[in-house]
Amino acid sequence: MDELWRNAHTAFAQERFADAERGFRRVAAEFPERREGREALFYLGSLQMDPRNPKWEPDSA
């Protein structure tokens, strides 16, 4: 889980939004009871609100 979590954050920092979204979705789905799983939901919302993201949709966040 740690590697998956780090990879999602790295992708977000490097503005690889599709990779970050896949990573955070996987963390949220596979570890819903852990802190990281819950925080992944926050980051998924953040991805939707980030204007650098070509697929940004602030209304859906």
- pLDDT at position 17: 95
Over the chain (61 residues), what is each successive 10-residue block's mean pLDDT? 95 96 98 97 94 82 55
Report helix angle 35-49 to 17-30, nearest 10: 150
Query: How far is CA 10 from each of CA 3, 13, 27, 59, 60, rounded to the nearest angstrom?
Result: 10, 5, 14, 25, 23
- pLDDT at position 56: 82
- pLDDT at position 30: 97
pTM of the predicted model as reported, rounded to 2 decimal places: 0.87
